[in-house]
């Protein structure tokens, strides 16, 4: 019995130790599928049930600043609430999500250093991204009416940055 438990623990540790942190699928894919990311990125996509076709149906983008105020979002410019249009990742597998992210940055037309800097700038400093990371800011996940999005990127900003850096420094592999 003790040997069986030891083998199970050793096997679990081995699988974790062998995971390649430079692969997008190891840590990042599941984080890019949280509601903290997809609610915004899928906002205008009807096929993915974007909020502009549900709870926000018929509302003009000019109306956003009335509910998504600086007190709620923490954004200096509340009119910057929207995520980049056309970067829809809900339900995509790891490979497709990773490729969509790199395509949105036009990575194939830039050198790797520039793509890495732009990726870090967006994923580490953009207030919209920080909003979707648990405890990254005092306003992370905050919604109008005192509500809070619960499905955010877990483990906080430090862990997020470590995992993103490992992926970037490993060549931004889409495995």
- List pLDDT tens digits, range 90-139: 888 999 999 988 988 888 889 889 999 999 999 999 888 999 999 999 99
Spell out the domain ranges in the chain: 21-169
Provide the pLDDT for residue 81: 74
Q: Which long-range contacts (CB under 8 A, 24 or more apart) does 127-135 make?
A: 127/73, 127/74, 127/75, 127/76, 127/80, 128/40, 128/75, 128/80, 128/81, 128/83, 130/157, 131/36, 131/73, 131/74, 131/75, 132/34, 132/36, 132/37, 132/40, 133/36, 133/157, 133/160
């Amino acid at each position: 019995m003790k040997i069986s438990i030891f083998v199970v623990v050793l096997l679990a540790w081995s699988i974790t130790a062998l995971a390649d942190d430079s692969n997008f699928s190891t840590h990042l894919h599941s984080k890019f599928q949280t509601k903290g990311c997809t609610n915004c990125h899928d906002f205008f996509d009807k096929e993915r049930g974007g909020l502009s076709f549900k709870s926000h149906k018929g509302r003009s983008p000019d109306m956003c600043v009335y509910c998504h105020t600086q007190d709620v979002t923490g954004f200096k410019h509340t009119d910057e609430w929207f995520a980049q249009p056309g970067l829809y990742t809900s339900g995509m597998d790891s490979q497709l999500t990773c490729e969509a992210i790199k395509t949105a940055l036009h990575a194939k037309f830039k050198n790797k250093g520039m793509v890495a800097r732009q990726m870090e700038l967006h994923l580490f400093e953009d207030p919209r991204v920080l909003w979707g990371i648990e405890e990254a800011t005092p306003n992370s996940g905050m919604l109008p009416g005192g509500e809070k999005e619960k499905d955010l990127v877990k483990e906080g900003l430090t862990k997020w940055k470590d995992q993103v850096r490992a992926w970037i420094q490993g060549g931004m592999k889409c495995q």
